[in-house]
Structure 1
Amino acid sequence: MTLVALIPAHNEQDRIVATLAGLYRQTVRPDRIVVVADNCTDHTARIAGHCGAEVFVPTANADKKAGALNQALVPLLADLDDEALVLVQDADTVLNPGFVECAVDAMADETVGAVGGVFYGEPGGGLLGQLQRMEYQRYALEIRRKDNEAVVLTGTGSLFRASVLRQVREARLDGVIGGGDSYYSLASLTEDDEITKAVKTLGHRTVSPDGCWLVTEVMPSLGKLWHQRLRWQRGALENLRDYGWTPVTRKYFFQQFMLGVGALALALFLLFAALNLTLVGWGGFSPFWSAIMLIFVVERTLTVRRLGPRATLLALPLVPELLYDLFRQTVFVRSLFDLALRREARWVAT
């Protein structure tokens, strides 16, 4: 069995060494490591070459990450048989040393077409970075509760069967699924979310075992976080619009519906609290509502306890995470409006 790692990179000279070092430390190392240096104006390609990786430079690519990956996959898959495995990993990510071995073991189940990583946030970033790490920690717990089903084959690190990638391209060419005529969709802002739906639509399972964890960057500013999450959310909504209601997408539609319910509930709660304080004033503590609040506090602190005492203390007062949730829900509402008004989606580098 041949295993090839494919790393799309755009101006990642500061991170590419750590990314490659993570691959060289794998208990099961890839047979080939290919860095796809897409429109780089820095030393990413030269550094990758010095570190022993192959370097592929896309030709006149105007289709961002998806276009770069498609160009690299054409010659790569031409030399691989159907049993080969392709690891696609972002250049700002470091895999844990057992990631590849765990992913390959998961592929022993022939119903599994792809394995997605479980991502955690890197250190740093101040308060905003800590809030993102807490969010990612809870997301990892959610995946575990869903029997390790991969909700998204995250671009931070996912392993595909070569045969499945070929099937995705054939399905696009046959019009079974949209997104162009290659492996990754050129019509989606979130190519990893779209290819997850493509793989599942073709009848394959996607999993995220606990051992396939990795560490990825956190957004250092609200501006970058806003653009990242707006791209994620708008892309997810557009993918659902394009795929429509199917046995595969109904879970994703329900997820988006619950996000809307959560946004509405939070808005109504804040409005009620403001009106109550303005018209009635502070009425003291209520035993019932205090008990409800205590349940929330316990849940929020227990789900981040593995991140250490700083995360636990940050979860205790609820207010910082309430504001963070309000930020995320604002992104959701903005994405809905943009989609409904058919505003052109913009890709902003983060």
Structure 2
Amino acid sequence: MSLVALIPAHDEQDRIVATLAGLYRQASRPDRIVVVADNCTDETARIAAHCGAEVFVPTDNHDKKAGALNQALGPLLDELDDDAYVLVQDADTVLNPDFVACAVDAMADPEVGAVGGIFYGEPGGGLLGLLQRMEYQRYAVEIRRKKNEAVVLTGTGTLFRASVLREVRAARLAGTVGGGDGYYSLASLTEDDEITKAVKTLGHRTVSPDGCWLVTEVMPSLGKLWHQRLRWQRGALENLRDYGWTPVTAPYFRQQMLLGAGALALGLFATFAVLSLTLVGWHGFSVFWTAITLLFVVERTLTVRRLGWRASLLAAPLVPELLYDAFRQAVFLRSLLDLALRREARWVAT
């Protein structure tokens, strides 16, 4: 068995050392580590080479991360057997030392075609950073509740069978799956979400075991967070449009419908509360609704308790997270509107 780590990187000189150190600390170290230095204008390539990694520089790439990965995967897969593994990891991410070993163990199940990581937010970022870490913590809880099914083969860290990547490209060439003629789709804003659907459409399971966790960056400002989430959400909606309703995409359609219902419910609740207080006034506490609210508070605080007392304290009053949820729902509505009006999607670096 051979395992190659592939790290797409664009101007990541400040983070590439920590990323590579995380790979060198793996209990099961990759046989090769290749940094894909895509349109870099900084010292990413030089630093990666100095740290002992191979460096691949894409030629005339205008297709962002997906295009860079496709160029690197071509010659790489020509050298690998079908039973080899390819780890694709973002350059702003640090894997826990047992990530690779855990992912390879999960591959013992022949039905598993890819293993995605469970991501947590790095320290810092103030209040906004803490809210993102709380969101990621609850996402990890949700993955466990789904018996560790990988909802998305996250770009922060995913292990593929080489044979599955070849199947994906063959399916694109045959027209069974869209997105161009490469391994990753060139037609999607969120290539990680799209390749998840491609792998599942081809009949493979995708999992995220508890041991496959990693730490990734959080957005330091509302502007960067808006652009990141707009890209994620618009890409997810476009991928569903392109794939249509299938047994694979049905749960994703339901998830998007629930997001829409949540946005509608929050808007109706806010409108009702304002009208009620304005026209009727305050009538005191309701025992029933107070009890429901307290149960909700308990659930919100318990699901982030591993992040420490600050997270639990922030979750308890509900209001900060309600505002954060309103922000996410605004992203959803904007993405839906842009898609409906066929506005051209713009990629903004974050």
The alignment partner of 2:72 has SS state of helix
1:300 aligns with 2:316: no
Query: Where has structure 1 moved over 6 Å in runs of 4 or more?
Result: none
Q: CA deviation at 1:156?
A: 0.1
Please name the residue that 1:262 is paired with: 262
Q: Whole-Å Cα distance in 1 between the matches of residues 175 and 73 of structure 2?
A: 20
Pairing 1:228–2:228 present: yes
Write the distance in 1 (CA, Å) between the matches of 2:289 and 2:247.
39
1:178 corresponds in structure 2 to 178
**1:62 match:** 62
Aligned counterpart, 1:330: 330
1:320 corresponds in structure 2 to 320
Tell me, what secondary structure is at the counterpart of 1:5?
strand
2:99 maps to which residue? 99
Distance 2:331 2:293 in 1: 26
Alpha-carbon distance in structure 2 between the residues aligned to 1:238 and 1:25 = 38
Mapping for residues 250-289 of structure 1, pairs under 5 Å: 250-289=250-289
Q: Distance in 1 between matches of 2:273 and 2:119?
A: 36
Q: TM-score, normalised by structure 1?
A: 1.00
Residues 1:345 and 2:309 are matched in the alignment: no
Whole-Å Cα distance in 2 between the matches of residues 269 and 299 of structure 1? Answer: 20
Which residue pairs with 2:138 in the alignment?
A: 138
Counterpart mapping for 1:114-129 below 5 A: 114-129=114-129
Name the SS for the 2:298 alignment partner: helix
One-letter identity of the residue aligned with 1:74: G
Identify the residue that residue 113 of structure 1 maps to in structure 2.
113
DSSP 3-state at the match of 2:110: coil
Give the corresponding residue for 1:46: 46
Describe how 1:208-227 pairs up with structure 2 within 5 A.
208-227=208-227
Amino acid at match of 1:176: T
Query: How many residues get paired?
Result: 350
In structure 2, what is the Cα distance between the partners aligned to 1:323 and 1:337? 21
**What residue in structure 2 maps to residue 187 of structure 1?**
187
SS of 1:91's partner is coil
Residues 128-181 of structure 1: CA distance to partner in whole angstroms, max 9, x if unpaired? 000000000000000000000000000000000000000000000000010000
Q: Distance in 2 between matches of 1:23 and 1:69?
A: 19
Deviation at 1:103, TM superposition (A): 0.1
Q: 1-side partners of 2:299 and 2:262: how far apart?
A: 17
Question: Aligned partners of 1:258 and 1:30: how far apart in 2?
Answer: 40
Letter in 2 for 1:81: D
Partner SS state of residue 253, structure 2:
helix
Q: How far has the Cα of 1:280 moved from its partner?
A: 1.1
Structure 2 residues without counterparts, runs of 5 or longer:
none
Equivalents in 2 of 1:291, 1:192: separation in Å? 41
Equivalents in 1 of 2:223, 2:15: separation in Å? 21
The two structures have a TM-score, normalised by structure 2, of 1.00
> Whole-Å Cα distance in 2 between the matches of residues 49 and 37 of structure 1?
11
Match of 1:330, as an amino acid?
A
Q: C-alpha separation between the residues in 2 aligned to 1:96 and 1:275?
A: 50
- The reply on whether 1:71 has 2:71 as its aligned counterpart is yes
- Measured in 2, the distance between the counterparts of 1:279 and 1:45 equals 64
Structure 1 distance, partners of 2:20, 2:244, is 39
1:116, CA displacement in angstroms?
0.1
| Residue 328 (structure 1) shift | 0.2
Match of residue 240 from structure 2: 240
SS at match of 1:113: strand
Code of the residue aligned with 1:138 in structure 2: it is R
Separation in 2, partners of 1:196, 1:271: 38
State the SS of the aligned residue for 2:70.
helix
In the other structure, the counterpart of 1:6 is 6
Segments of 5+ residues of structure 1 without an aligned counterpart are none
Q: 1:86 is matched with which residue?
A: 86
Rounded to whole Å, the distance in 1 between the matches of 2:34 and 2:203 is 29
Q: Supply the distance in 1 between the matched residues of 2:283 and 2:40 (Cα, whole angstroms).
A: 61
**Residue identity (%):** 85
Root mean square deviation of aligned Cα = 0.4
| C-alpha separation in 2, matches of 1:146 and 1:24 | 31
Partner residue, 1:198: 198
Which amino acid in the other structure matches residue 109 of structure 1? D
Q: CA deviation at 1:109?
A: 0.4
Cα distance in structure 1, aligned partners of 2:336 and 2:11: 32
What is the SS of the residue equivalent to 1:33? Answer: strand
